[in-house]
Chain A
Amino acid sequence: MSKILVVAEQAQGKVKSATWSAITFAKQAATLSSGSFDILVLGASASSAAKELTGFGAGEVRVCEDASLENYLAERYAPTVAAVAQGYSVVCATASSFGKDLMPRAAARLDAAYAGDCSGVSADGGQLRYKRPMFAGNAFGHLTLGTQVQVVTVRQSEFGVAVPSGGVSAISTVPLTPPGKAAERVEFISMDQVQSARPELSDAQVVLSGGRALKDKFFEVLEPLADQLKAAIGASRAACDAGYAPGDYQVGQTGKIVAPKLYLAVGISGAIQHVAGMKGSKTIVAINKDPDAPIFQIADYGLVADLFDAVPELTSALKARA
C-alpha cells in the first residue's frame, strides 16, 4: 500500500498543465499498490491553485502558501517538499524544467533514491517498478528504488492529462520549512517568457519543427503553416544553437519530449538525439531535400523536396481545404 504525494506546479495561482501528468501517474501507482495519493502545492498564491486540484480523487490537497515562495527557487521549495514527503512512500512530479530542477534536490535532502523521466510504472510483488528511457531512448530500463521514500519524475508525453473523477478533496495547510543557508546565496533576477499565442509544445496536438535548413527564414516560413495546423512550433538543436529559434523550442533527448497526434519535421536530418524527443508521435511527416536523410526511416510520410517550395505549397493546400 503506497501513499503517494504529487508535487503540483503552479504560476501566479494557476496550475500548470504539466501537473496533470503527475496526477495520472499517481492514480496509476495508487491503483497498482492499493494505495492513495495527496497533492502538495507551493507558492505565494498556492491556495488559489489548490482549488483547481480538488476534483481528481486526491485524499487531500496540501497547501504551503508563503510570500518567500513567490518566484520558484529549488533552495526554497525543496525543504518543505522534503518535510511533507516524510509521510509518503513515493513523491512525484512531472519532468518539466521545474520537476527536473526541484525533485533531485528534494530527494537528496531525504537521502531518497530517484527515478527520473519515467515513462511507465508497474507492480512487482508489492513494489513499484519504474520504466525509464536511457541512451537517448534507445533502451528502456526497469528499476526499483530501495529507500523508505522514493522520488520520481514522469514524462509528460507518456502520462496523459488527468480527468476529474468527482468528489472534493479536503484542503489543508502545511507550514513552510525554513530553507538552509543555500537560499541566502541565490537571488531570482528575472524570467523572460517567450511570448506566444500558440499551444504549448509539451501538450500540443500538432507540432511543426524546423531545422538548420530554415536559416533566418525560420519563422517566416513556418508560421503560416503553423497557423493553418494550429500547431506548436519546435526546432532542432542546430536551429536553436544558430539562434533561428529560442532554446526553449528544442525537441529531443536533451530538450522537450513531445508525442503529438501529428509531428512535422521540416529540414531536420533526424539525428538520434532529435528522434528521441519525438518518435512517440502518432503520425510523423518529414520534408527534406535529401532522400537519404535518416528522418525518413521513422517518418510515416516522407516528402523529398526543397522546403522553401514545399512548405508554402502545403500551407496553401491546407488553406484551400479549410
Chain B
Amino acid sequence: MKILVPIKRVADPDNANKIRISPGGDRIETAGLEWKLNPFDEYALEAALRLTEDGQKSKERTGEVVVVTLAPKEADSTLRSALATGADRAIRIDAEDDALDGRLVAKALRAIVLKEQPDLILMGKQAVDGDNNFVGQALAELLDYPMATFAATIREEDGALLVSREVDGGTCTLRVRLPAVVTVDLRIVAPSSVYSRQTDPSFKYNDGVRFAPLPAIMKAKKKPLDVVPLADVVPSLDLASKYHRFEPPAQRKAGVKVASVSELVDKLANEARVL
C-alpha cells in the first residue's frame, strides 16, 4: 500500500497559552514559540507506518509512506524527522504560512495525489493552530474519493479499510474502498487501533507514537525531499478567506479555594445560585 500523509508544523500546542497578539491585533506573533509537528499528523504518520508493516517486524516496510507539507523552508526539519520516524520520501510545497488557507491547501494536495496516485491519504482531523478541521473532507470531495473522518480504529481488508469513527453519541463504523481519505482522531495510536493485513490481530502496539532511533536520524538525511513551488500545483494563488483582526479571549477572574465540602455546597447554593 502507498500512503500519502499531509503534515503541518504548528506552534507547540503546549505553549499555546503563550501566544501573543500583535499590538494592533492584526497578527498572531509566533516568534519565540517552538515549532512542532501537529499532534494529529504525528498520529496519522504512526497509523501510516502501522498500515505498511507487520507489527511484529516493524523495521521492515511493506509499503511506501510519502509525507507532504505546504510550508516555508524552515519546515524541512519537520519533514526530516518524519523521514527519520519511517517515512520513505518527503515533498515540500514551498509556501509562506500566510499565503495559505484550507481551500488552497486542499487544491494543492489534490494535485500531489493525482501525481503520486497513493492508495490512501491519511491525515490529521485538524491542525491545532487554526483548529479548522477542513482539509481532509475538502480533499476527499475534490478527488471524488470516499472518506472516513475522526478515525479511532483502522483495520485493513482486501482493497478496503474498516474504520470506526468517533462521532457524537458513540462510534460509527464505515467500510471505504481504496483509494480513500481517512482523517485520524486521538485514539488512533492506542495499542489495538490499527491493523495492516500482515499484522496478527492479537498483536498489541506500544501506546502512542514510535520515536526515531539514532541511526535512522542519520539515514533520513539521505532520503529524498523534493521541493515544488506552490504556483505549480494550484490554478490560482488567491485566498478566499481573510483574517482582519485577532483578539485574546476574555480572562476569567480568579476564583476562591473553599475549605470543605459544606462550604462548597453553601457557595454553590447561595453565592453562585446554581443548585
**Nearest CB in chain B to that of A201: its residue:** B168
Q: Is A101's beta carbon under 8 Å from chain B?
A: yes
- A189-B173, A253-B131 known; A303 vs B240 contact (CB < 8 Å): no
Residues of A with C-beta under 8 A to B241:
113-115, 143-146
- Residues from chain A with a CB closer than 8 A to the CB of B243 are 141-143
* B126 touches A (CB below 8 Å): yes
Contact of B17 with A113 in the complex, beta carbons under 8 Å: no
Q: Is the CB of A135 within 8 A of B257?
A: no
Which of the residues B40, B167, B256 comes within 8 Å of A300, measured between beta carbons? B256
- Select the stretch in A166-174, A214-222, A280-288 that faces chain B: A280-288
Q: Which residues of B contact A66 (CB under 8 A)?
A: none
Determine which residue in B126, B143, B247, B249 has the highest number of CB atoms from chain A within 10 A of its CB, and name it.
B249
Q: CA A247 – CA B170 in complex, angstroms?
A: 8
Using Cβ atoms and an 8 Å threshold, which residues of chain B touch A301? 255-258, 264, 267-268, 272
* Residue tally, chain B, CB below 8 Å to A: 87
Q: Is the pair A144, B170 in contact by a Cβ cutoff of 8 Å?
A: no
- B103 within 8 Å of A by Cβ? yes
Chain A residues within 8 Å of B252, by CB: 279, 284, 298, 300
Does B177 reach chain A (CB closer than 8 Å)? yes
Name the contact of A141 in the complex, choosing from B40, B246, B255, B274 (C-beta under 8 A). B246
**B138 A104 Cβ-Cβ under 8 A:** yes
Task: Taking A74-B137, A140-B246, A317-B262 as given, write out 18 further A-B residue pairs in contact, using a Cβ cutoff of 8 Å, ordered by the A residue number.
Answer: A74-B147, A97-B168, A105-B138, A114-B103, A135-B13, A138-B16, A144-B244, A181-B144, A182-B144, A186-B148, A189-B173, A189-B175, A250-B186, A253-B131, A254-B186, A262-B268, A284-B255, A314-B265
Given A97-B167, A139-B28, A143-B242, does the pair A183, B146 have CB atoms closer than 8 Å?
yes
Q: Is B152 close to A, CB under 8 A?
A: yes
Contacts of A191 in B (CB 8 A): 167, 169-173
**Smallest distance from the beta carbon of A177 to chain B beta carbons, Å?**
13
Q: Pick from B40, B101, B138, B150 the residue with the most CB of A within 10 Å.
A: B138
Q: List 19 A-B contacts (CB under 8 A).
A: A105-B147, A111-B103, A114-B241, A140-B247, A143-B243, A143-B244, A144-B242, A185-B178, A185-B180, A186-B147, A191-B171, A237-B186, A247-B186, A250-B186, A256-B168, A282-B274, A302-B256, A302-B258, A303-B257
The 7 closest A-B pairs by CB, nearest first: A186-B146, A113-B240, A104-B137, A108-B138, A108-B141, A300-B255, A185-B177
Using Cβ atoms and an 8 Å threshold, which residues of chain B touch A75? 146-147
Q: Which A residues are within 8 Å of any B CB, using their own CB?
A: 18, 73-75, 78, 96-98, 100-109, 111-117, 124, 129, 132-147, 180-183, 185-194, 202, 206, 237, 240-241, 246-248, 250, 253-254, 256, 261-262, 272-273, 279, 282-285, 291, 296-305, 310, 313-314, 317-318, 321
Contact A272 B274 (CB under 8 A): no
Q: Which residue of A lies closest to B183 (CB)?
A: A101
Given contacts A272-B14, A303-B257, contact A318 B187 (CB under 8 A): no
A192 touches B171 (CB 8 A): yes
**Chain A residues with Cβ under 8 A from B167's Cβ?**
97-98, 101, 191, 248
Is there a chain A Cβ closer than 8 Å to B261's Cβ?
yes
Q: Judge if B37 is at the interface, Cβ distance under 8 Å.
A: no
Give Cα distance in the complex from A300 to B274, angstroms. Answer: 12
A133-B131, A145-B240 known; A283 and B173 CB under 8 Å?
Answer: no
User: In angstroms, how far is the closest chain B Cβ from the Cβ of A39?
Assistant: 20
Report chain B residues within 8 Å CB of A140.
Answer: 246-249
Whether the Cβ atoms of B176 and A186 lie closer than 8 Å is: yes
Quick check: A104 and B134 within 8 Å, CB to CB? Answer: yes
- Contact indicator B265/A318 (Cβ below 8 Å): yes
| Contact A113 B176, beta carbon cutoff 8 Å | no
Instruction: Kindly state the separation between the CA atoms of A256 and B167 in the bound complex, as whole angstroms.
Output: 10
B206 to chain A, nearest CB (A): 13
B265 smallest CB distance to A (angstroms): 5
The CA of A273 and the CA of B148, in the complex, are separated in Å by 24
Asked if A116 contacts B134 (CB within 8 A), the reply is: yes
Q: B residues within 8 A CB of A279?
A: 249, 252
Which residues of B sit under 8 angstroms from A111, Cβ to Cβ?
Answer: 103
Residues of chain A contacted by B144 (CB below 8 angstroms): 180-182
**Residues in chain B near residue A113, CB distance under 8 A:** 101, 103, 240-241
**Contact yes or no, B245 A142, CB < 8 A:** yes
| Complex interface residues of chain B between 153 and 207 (CB less than 8 A to chain A) | 162, 166-178, 180, 185-187, 190, 207
Among B19, B168, B241, B275: residue with most chain A CB under 10 A? B168
- Contact call B264/A314, Cβ cutoff below 8 A: yes
